[in-house]
Structure 1
Amino acid sequence: MNAATFVRSWPSAAAWGAGLIMAALGAGAIVGSDSGAAARGLGVGLVGLGLASLVWGAATLSAGRLTVPRIALTGALVSLVATAAVLFAMPARVSVLAVFAGISLIVVVGASAAVHLRRARRDGAASPAGKPMSVIGLLVAAAVVAVVVTPALNATQGALLLRDDGTVPVISHNH
């Protein structure tokens, strides 16, 4: 197993993590108590981008190569702008940690797509055949993404539930 085989599955795992964070941020923007029309519209877009990211990650892992890299790069750029924009649309109800984590994962996907396109242009191959991926690489990628995404999703919920006095209500599930 070489380094390329080890990291080949990382863009798909990063896409899944970014997709989950974008969907959570979008859902929060849609249902937020102080969300305006712009925030809700941005939320719908983020949910759509999050779902598209999940589908792209699955297709990429299934194919063993980056699928539709031009669309992936465009999606990554749009996702970067939309994820940053939700922070400005709802500054009091969006977690900076979640936005940073989402953007970090989106950058991995976008950089991977850009490198793939650059290599394809240099080598003259439009769509190279799928190459083997490492199961250990996928497990490491999944663990890293879980370590990044889990606190980001928690922070997303905490930011949405934040009261005006700076406290977060305790939700009990005793019933």
Structure 2
Amino acid sequence: MTAATFTRSWPSVSAWGAGLIVAALGAGAIVRADSGAAARGLGIGMVVLGVAGLAWGAAALSTGRIVLPRVALIGVITALAATAALIFLAPAHTSIIGVAAASVLLVVVGATAATHLRRGRTGSPADRTPRPMSVLGLVVAAAVVAVLVTPALGATQDAVLLREDGTVPVISHEGH
């Protein structure tokens, strides 16, 4: 197993993690009671970007290659800009942990797409053939992303629920 075979699935899994976090940040901006029109509009765009990231990751993993690298790179740059804009629009209700985790994962996807474009592999016959991936590499990627994404999603929810006094309500599940 080569290093390339071991890491080949990482951009796909990173896209899934980033997509989940970006969509969660966007959803938080949409549903928060005190969100203005700008925050809600940005939130809708972020949900769309998050879902697109999930779809791109699935397409890249199922084909065994980087698909639509230019589109992926544009999506990464747009998602990075949107998360940064959300921090400025709603700083008290945007999770810095969520933004940081999404940014790290987006950089992985963006660097892979940029490298792919730089090497000029857009449309060559070798690019259309699936390349082998390591199951162990996929498991490691999933574990790393889970370690980043799970706390980021929790922090995103906490930021959305943050009260004026700086506390987060405790949601009780009594009676369920």
- What TM-score results when the alignment is normalised by the length of structure 2? 0.95
- Counting only pairs closer than 5 Å after superposition, residues 104-123 of structure 1 correspond to structure 2 as 104-120=104-120
User: Residue 124 of structure 1: CA displacement?
Assistant: 8.5
2:58 is matched with which residue? Answer: 58
1:35 is matched with which residue? Answer: 35
8 Å contact from structure 1 (residues 18, 50) kept in 2: yes
User: Residue 43 of structure 1: CA displacement?
Assistant: 0.2
- Structure 2 unmatched ranges of 5 or more: none
**Alignment partners' CA distance in 2, 1:46 and 1:36:** 15
Amino acid at match of 1:25: L
1:87 aligns with 2:87: yes
**Alignment partners' CA distance in 2, 1:91 and 1:124:** 42
1:125 aligns with 2:124: yes
User: Residue 96 of structure 1: CA displacement?
Assistant: 0.5
Corresponding residue SS for 1:75: helix
8 Å contact from structure 1 (residues 95, 156) kept in 2: yes
Corresponding residue SS for 2:133: coil
**Alignment partners' CA distance in 2, 1:124 and 1:47:** 30
User: Residue 120 of structure 1: CA displacement?
Assistant: 2.2
Corresponding residue SS for 1:120: coil
- Structure 1 unmatched ranges of 5 or more: none
Amino acid at match of 1:51: V
Amino acid at match of 1:102: A
Corresponding residue SS for 2:67: coil
2:140 is matched with which residue? Answer: 140
Amino acid at match of 2:167: T
**Alignment partners' CA distance in 1, 2:104 and 2:69:** 18
Q: Count how many residue pairs are aligned between Structure 1 and Structure 2.
A: 174
- What TM-score results when the alignment is normalised by the length of structure 1? 0.96
